[in-house]
Amino acid sequence: MYDRLKGFRDFYPEEMAPRREVIDTLESTAARYGFREISTPALERTEMYVDKSGEEIVEELYAFEDKGGREVSLTPELTPTVARMVVAKQQELSKPIKWVSTRPFWRFEQVQQGRFREFYQTNVDIFGSSEPTADAEILAFAADALTDLGLTGDDFEFRVSHRDILSGLLDAFDADVDAAAAIRAVDKRAKVEETEYLGLLSDAGLAYDQADQFDDLVARGDLDEIAEFGGADVADAVENLRNVLAAAEDFGAREYCDVSLTTARGLDYYTGVVFECFDSTGEVSRSVFGGGRYDDLIESFGGQPTPAVGVAPGLAPLSLLCQRAGVWPEEALTTDYYVLTVGETREVASRIARDLRASGNVVEVDVSDRSFGAQMGYADSVNAETVVIVGEQDLANDEVTVKDMASGDQTTVPVETFPGDRDAPTYDDVA
């Protein structure tokens, strides 16, 4: 016996069915907004991540030398990959570029609730628009996807912030501040003790009293006060945040948005509005997913300046929210028909199965030469709603038997008229 690797998961059919339903919902919601599906490789050059995040990132990667002597890594996220793709065909692509994909990613990190070493995300991105409406459309997509899954405004909230407000406030202090380090500290604010958090701000360059004042401004979140304190650049960022929220109001997503300047998103490439989705009840203690604007990334990959904004719902934390709210799809197999054979009836049974499948039904037939009882037991195990019994005795009378599995009721019908012109005939239709 071989044990499964820690942080990697198997999904049996009963578990995979609800995951597929959730993925389909996310992708169909994105499609309604005009996002087009892309597919991306599992491997990228390690230097792509090192150049953006430093050598220390390698400790979090599944990085190795391939047989061609190249240093490569299993992709830990999609944003650098799609940035590379945009740069490769930037002149050919119509703007705005709107892409969606669902695929696995890999990070070597501590396994915990809702976080694994192999994880699945649906990434939704817009390239080529700096307008607040692009940010708002990402928020609206995310809200619609969650409500399409059956969640309501009582179940989740988007905590919306702006990276330029945070960096502008830091610049307003008379101190030599490492803004990126300070913003990473803000991102950890809810996860560490106050003294440790203020210490991180101090390590980033703020004096202790400045760190306390900065945190007080951010925690209160009074946008007018912040704009006055921070000066022109912060006032511009505040206006941009308000414009995004106004557009989100028009798009029907404002009710899910709370201004929360302590929401920072830890990745350094974010440049403008950022947000995270949380369980409103707090039972799911971690962020469900997040997103934001990253206007400088395409240029840093060698492309033309191209604004960008996106979001990436992860399947694992999203499942925690849906399960807590009671809207995670049922983990059960579903089968519309089981066509049961008795004796030498395969030809007729196969014709019936083909006709039913042609109408879009899920249909199984016996492929193991089992007894009547074993076939009925299997039909029950796959939750077949209707069993069509094709037996030699019935066929001698030009009939087949249609059995409703829930009630146990059954009746015979002419074989030539089943299923006939009906897409999904049940016992009630033919009794």
Please enumerate, by residue number, every residue annotated as part of a binding site: 77-79, 107, 121, 125, 265, 269-270
User: What is the Cα Rg of the chain in Å?
Assistant: 28
Residues making up the annotated binding site for L-histidine are 77-79, 107, 121, 125, 265, 269-270
C-alpha 137: how far from its chain's center?
Answer: 16
Residue 101 one-letter amino acid = S
| Backbone angles phi and psi of 375, in degrees to 5 | -65, -40
Report d(CA 384, CA 179) in Å as an integer. 60
Which DSSP helix (H) or strand (E) runs through 57?
A: none
Report d(CA 313, CA 129) in Å as an integer. 21
| Residue with the two structure tokens 């958090």 | 197
Sign of CA dihedral 344, 349, 350, 351: positive
DSSP secondary structure, 405-430, as one string: TTT--EEEEEGGGSSTT-SS--HHHH
Beta-carbon neighbour count of residue 4 at 10 Å?
8
Nearest of 260, 306, 400, 375 to residue 82 by alpha carbon = 306
Residue 399 token pair: 């009939």
| Residue with the two structure tokens 């989740």 | 156
Residue 395 one-letter amino acid = L
